[in-house]
């Protein structure tokens, strides 16, 4: 099993390399580790970063397995793209997007509200943009939840500090072993996630990152609001991406849901991480109780304005007893609208979305999404990382199901670079 296709370095310019995948050229950033990279080398890239250099023999073996499938998948993807609408207003908006003109907030709100045939047309159009901009590559990231301790008390969250529940912390050794297992399964990008847990010293995290980095994977951190010095040290150790959602663009709502915290501090952290050089994934919750009219469109526009590298948003999954049900259509429309306002965006179909319907992964990928995440935390811990109910899914089954789905809809489980 493999979640990345090796590419051949076709040229190097500054800190960027052009990589050739079966004749398709993509660019990817070099890591310092690849300083000796030469034209003709074979590499793996994830999230637009070269994460590993491999021997020609190993590359050719993998490429031989992929070549036929790569083109077959492409054909399949092409065959599933359909555009067109009977609705003149929708048609005019599509033309506006095609002409490269920005859509206004009212237009976004209208698109987000579409249902039925119009929603289908919106999603098909977004899917065609996805194909034009990103081809049929689909990043499949693994996530390891290494501690469910959290000092924060976000009201929406199932592992918030005040909840009386079984807590765990993986040791450094367990974390590194879980990462090695994920790398063996074929993952080339791993998210290391925890609550805001000050228990781990900088040295422990730095050591773990150094060890995992050597496995040739892109390391994503999702550790919350920690000291910038720690983020810098982890970057220096080899982490290259960070997941920090801003949750809501409404400052009052933000402080209500995340007591003691301010939106402006969260946004500052995102900008500082970008300055350090991290690829940043950010986004928001859809359908938080009290979400204002137009707030979803504002969340999308704020994400775009931050100029981050990946969108990560999903429905708020209510706790027991709450009546409001999250609306999958709204989430799918959000994916499509993001694709329209930010055509080259990497858009994650999040695991929370998948709890709304067994079809959500497929629908999200057919609505303009191009990335997925699979939980590869050891089972005994994953069950306890219950951000929301229904989150736990056995890893092996999920991997098999995901690969079957990607095969069916013509997506290559890889990331071909920026």
Chain contacts with ligand SF4 (rule: CB under 6 A): 150, 152, 154, 157, 159-160, 195-196, 224
Binding partner of residue 70 among ligand SF4, ligand 5AD, none, CB cut-off 5 to 8 Å per kind:
none
Q: How near is the Cβ of 157 to ligand SF4 at its closest, in Å?
A: 3
Backbone angles phi, psi at 221, to 5 degrees: -100, 140
The size of the interface with ligand 5AD (CB under 6 A), counted in residues, is 11
Q: Which of 44, 146, 187, 388 binds ligand 5AD (CB under 6 A)?
A: 388
**Closer residue to ligand SF4, CB minimum distance, 94 or 254:** 254
Kindly identify the residues of this chain, within the stretch 194-253, that bind ligand 5AD according to CB under 6 A: 245, 247
Q: How near is the Cβ of 322 to ligand 5AD at its closest, in Å?
A: 10
Binding partner of residue 160 among ligand SF4, ligand 5AD, none, CB cut-off 5 to 8 Å per kind:
ligand SF4
Task: Report the alpha-carbon distance of residue 103 to residue 99 in Å, rounded.
Answer: 11
Q: How near is the Cβ of 331 to ligand 5AD at its closest, in Å?
A: 11
CB 51 within 8 A of CB 33: no
> CA geometry: angle at 159 spanning 352 and 236, to 5°?
85
Binding partner of residue 352 among ligand 5AD, ligand SF4, none, CB cut-off 5 to 8 Å per kind:
ligand 5AD
**Closer residue to ligand 5AD, CB minimum distance, 287 or 410:** 287
Residue 316 touching ligand 5AD (CB under 6 A): yes
Q: Which of 139, 317, 374, 403 binds ligand 5AD (CB under 6 A)?
A: 317
Which residues are CB-contacts of 61 (< 8 A; sequence separation ≥ 6)? none
Instruction: Draw the binding track, 247-286, toward ligand 5AD (x: CB under 6 A; -: no contact).
Output: x-------------------------------------x-
- The footprint of ligand 5AD (CB under 6 A) covers 156-157, 245, 247, 285, 314, 316-317, 352, 387-388
């Amino acid at each position: 099993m493999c979640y990345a296709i090796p590419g051949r370095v076709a040229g190097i310019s500054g800190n960027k390399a052009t990589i050739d995948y079966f004749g398709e050229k993509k660019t990817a950033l070099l890591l310092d580790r690849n300083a000796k990279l030469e034209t003709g080398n074979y590499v793996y890239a994830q999230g637009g970063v070269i994460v590993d250099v491999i021997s020609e023999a190993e590359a050719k073996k993998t490429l031989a397995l992929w070549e036929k499938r790569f083109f077959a998948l492409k054909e399949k993807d092409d065959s599933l793209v359909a555009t067109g609408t009977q609705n003149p207003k929708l048609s005019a908006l599509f033309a506006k997007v095609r002409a490269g003109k920005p859509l206004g907030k009212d237009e976004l709100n209208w698109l987000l509200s579409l249902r039925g045939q119009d929603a289908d047309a919106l999603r098909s159009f977004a899917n065609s943009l996805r194909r034009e901009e990103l081809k049929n590559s689909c990043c499949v990231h693994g996530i390891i939840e290494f501690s469910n301790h959290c000092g924060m008390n976000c009201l929406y969250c199932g592992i918030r500090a005040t909840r009386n529940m079984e807590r765990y912390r993986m040791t450094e050794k367990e974390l590194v072993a879980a990462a090695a297992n994920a790398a063996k399964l074929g993952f080339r990008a791993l998210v290391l996630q925890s609550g805001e847990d000050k228990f781990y010293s900088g040295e422990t995290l730095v050591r773990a990152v150094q060890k995992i980095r050597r496995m040739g994977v892109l390391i994503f951190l999702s550790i919350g609001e920690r000291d910038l010095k720690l983020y810098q040290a982890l970057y220096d150790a080899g982490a290259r991406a960070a997941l920090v959602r801003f949750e809501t663009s409404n400052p009052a709502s933000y402080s209500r849901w995340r007591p003691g915290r301010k939106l402006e501090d969260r946004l500052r952290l995102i900008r500082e991480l970008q300055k350090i050089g991290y690829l940043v994934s950010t986004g928001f919750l859809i359908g938080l109780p009290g979400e204002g009219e137009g707030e979803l469109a504002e969340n999308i526009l704020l994400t775009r304005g931050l100029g981050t590298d990946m969108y990560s948003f999903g429905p708020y999954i209510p706790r027991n007893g709450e009546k409001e049900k999250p609306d999958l259509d709204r989430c799918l429309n959000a994916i499509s609208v993001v694709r329209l306002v930010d055509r080259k965006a990497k858009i994650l179909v999040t695991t929370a979305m998948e709890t709304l319907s067994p079809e959500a992964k497929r629908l999200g990928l057919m609505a303009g999404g191009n990335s997925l995440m699979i939980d590869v935390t050891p089972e005994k811990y994953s069950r306890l990382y219950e951000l929301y109910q229904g989150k736990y899914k056995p890893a092996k089954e999920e991997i098999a199901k995901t690969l079957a789905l990607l095969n069916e809809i013509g997506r290559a489980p890889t990331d071909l670079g920026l």
